[in-house]
C-alpha cells in the first residue's frame, strides 16, 4: 500500500489542488529556448535568415574549440578520445595563397 493510497480521498483532492496551484507558478518552456540551439536562435534572431554555413561552423567551434575548465571539449567528452587542434588541422588542409606584398618582395 502506497503512502498516497493510504490518504483519505478528501486529503488526496486537497493535495491535488495544492499541486496544481504550485505548478501554475512555473512557466512551461519549449526546446526553442533551451540549450545551445535555443541560444543560437535567439542570438541571431535579428538577422532573420542565417547563412546555411553559419550554424554548421558554430557547431564545429562549439564541439572542437570551446573548452571547459578541465580542458576538455564537447567532442572529447562525447567520443572519449582526444582530438587534434582544429586550427592546426585547418592550416594543414586549407591551401595558402601568397600575400600580395610578398610577391613583390615587400614585407
pLDDT tens-digit readout, 14-73: 999 999 888 887 766 665 556 776 777 767 666 667 777 888 888 899 889 999 999 999
> Which sequence spans correspond to the domains of the chain?
31-99
pTM over 0.75: no
CA atoms within 13 A of residue 56's CA, in its CB half-sphere: 3
What is the 8-class DSSP label of residue 55?
H
What is the 8-class DSSP label of residue 66?
-
Query: How does residue 107 score in pLDDT terms, banded at 50, 70 and 90?
Result: low
Query: C-alpha grid cell for residue 22?
Result: 504550485
**pLDDT computed for residue 31 by the predictor:** 59
Amino acid at each position: 500500500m502506497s503512502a498516497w493510497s493510504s490518504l483519505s480521498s478528501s486529503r488526496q483532492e486537497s493535495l491535488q489542488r495544492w499541486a496544481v496551484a504550485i505548478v501554475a507558478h512555473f512557466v512551461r518552456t519549449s526546446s526553442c529556448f533551451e540549450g545551445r540551439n535555443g541560444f543560437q536562435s535567439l542570438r541571431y534572431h535579428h538577422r532573420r535568415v542565417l547563412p546555411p554555413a553559419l550554424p554548421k561552423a558554430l557547431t564545429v567551434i562549439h564541439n572542437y574549440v570551446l573548452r571547459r575548465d578541465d580542458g576538455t571539449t564537447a567532442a572529447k567528452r562525447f567520443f572519449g578520445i582526444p582530438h587534434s587542434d582544429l586550427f592546426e588541422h585547418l592550416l594543414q588542409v586549407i591551401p595558402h595563397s601568397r600575400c600580395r606584398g610578398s610577391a613583390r618582395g615587400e614585407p
